[in-house]
Amino acid sequence: MTKAFQDHHQERKIVMTTLHIGMIGLGKMGMNLVQNMRDRGIAVTAYDLNTAARTQVAAYGATAVDSLAALVQALTPPRIVWLMVPAGTPTEQSIETLTGLLSPDDILIDGGNSFYKDSRRRAAALSAQGIHFFDAGTSGGMAGARRDGNFMIGGEEDVFPRIAALFQAIAAPDGYLFTGPAGSGHYLKMVHNGIEYGMMQAIGEGFEVLAKSEYDYDNAAVAKMWNHGSVIRGWLMGLAENAFTADPNLTAIKGVMHSSGEGAWTVEEAIRLHVPTPAISAALMARYRSEAPDAMSGKVVAALRNQFGGHAVDHQ
């Protein structure tokens, strides 16, 4: 353990004794964030619709409550509330309810993957009530939420110092950034996820070439070797090694790649700005294609080739 790492964690223990956070949403990310906060000495009051999740979080030293009203009541003003629920309707409904419960000068952090324009709109609406809104793009997956996360935070610059210690505590060294006005945090996370799409697609395509080659590669060994000193080393390659170690050819899973929206938003924004993003766009299209293995587009092309050239088609 380096001295810098020790100093960083010692600082985190010192500054956390007075923080009390309200955490809403105890899924994969929210539950790990609570554990991260509790490890740093941060008091947490937590709420989730799921009773089992509330029971589980209490085991980590957090106080579980059974309603948003109870959560707000448990916090001393000015409050800090962290929302960690799915983007879209769950976030919208939660913020609508919280708007009627929070007080002027309270802080609401949205740590989910909301669309940046929604975050700007919500910040404006909450500001009219005197409530400070921060959009905190959260990266690092479940492991990062649990320890040494990565956070991109937009909001009011003069209010941010009130929550800077929180992010210093739960982030990796140099792993958080105040990015500017409301919306900028989720915008940066959107582009981050677009880049992630392209990186993962490139790794997947590389291993597919290996799988189709004449050579019998050990995928886990290849990923491990690539992750030690090569140009393409990194966390994703380490995760590839883990996956191949558990299932050498990934035969237990289907090649269906779901998407949660950020890749599409990145491509849409690139189109709006006239920025060519062929790698990210192709990765997004590959995900859509994977969801329809017997797609109409393939059928049409096969039928046309058969019609004009008599080329063979495969029948059901």
**CATH number of the domain to which 32 belongs:** 3.40.50.720
State how far the Cα of 182 lies from the Cα of 167, in Å rounded to an integer: 17
Looking at the structure, tell me whether residues 162 and 268 fall in a common domain: no
Q: Which of 28, 156, 157, 189 is catalytic?
A: 189
Element (H, E) at 176: strand 171-180
Residue 269 Cα to chain centre, angstroms: 19
Whether 189 is a known active-site residue: answer: yes
For the entire predicted model, the pTM comes to 0.90
Within this chain, do residues 123 and 170 fall inside the same structural domain, yes or no? yes
Alpha helices in the chain (DSSP H): 3-15, 28-39, 51-58, 68-74, 89-99, 116-127, 141-146, 161-170, 184-212, 219-226, 235-246, 262-273, 278-290, 296-309
Name the average pLDDT for the chain.
93
Q: Is the pLDDT of residue 240 over 70?
A: yes
Shared domain for 77 and 170, answered yes or no, is yes
Same domain, 176 and 280: no
Tens digits of residue pLDDT in 1-24 = 344 434 444 555 545 558 999 999
The answer to whether position 204 is within a domain reads yes
The answer on 224 and 108 residing in a single domain is no
Q: Structural domain of residue 270, as residue ranges?
A: 190-293
Handedness of CA 100, 25, 125, 88 (dihedral sign): negative
How confident is the model over 127-152, as a mean pLDDT?
96
Handedness of CA 139, 145, 150, 156 (dihedral sign): positive
Quick check: 81 and 72 in contact, CB under 8 A? Answer: yes
Confirm whether 117 is a catalytic residue: no
For residues 12 and 129, state if they share a domain: yes
- Same domain? For 220 and 150 the reply is no
Query: Domain check: are 230 and 152 in the same one?
Result: no
Question: Is 171 in the same domain as 267?
Answer: no
In a domain, residue 308? The reply is no
Number of domains comprising the chain: 2
Q: What is the CATH number of the domain that holds 278?
A: 1.10.1040.10
* Domain membership flag for residue 304: no
176 and 91 within one domain: yes
Q: For residues 9 and 154, state if they share a domain.
A: yes
Torsion of CA 81, 148, 122, 159, to 10 degrees: 70
Task: Out of 181, 208, 240, pick the residue that ends a domain.
Answer: 181
**316 within domain boundaries:** no
Both 146 and 199 in one domain: the answer is: no
Of the residues 92, 156, 196, 269, only one is catalytic, namely 196
Flag whether pLDDT at 189 surpasses 80. yes
- Who contacts 56 (Cβ-Cβ below 8 Å, separation ≥6)? 26, 31
**pLDDT at residue 310, rounded to an integer:** 85
Domain assignment of residue 34, yes or no:
yes
Give the model's pLDDT for residue 9: 46
| Least confident window among 40-44, 148-152, 184-188, 251-255 | 251-255
Q: Which of 181, 200, 216 delimits the end of a domain?
A: 181
Q: Which residues contact 48 (CB under 8 A, 6 or more apart)?
A: 24, 25, 26, 27, 30, 54, 57
Instruction: Identify the band that residue 67 occupies on the pLDDT scale cut at 50, 70 and 90.
Output: very high
Nearest to 196 by CA among 206, 185, 204, 208: 204
DSSP letter for 227, please: T
256 pLDDT higher than 70? yes
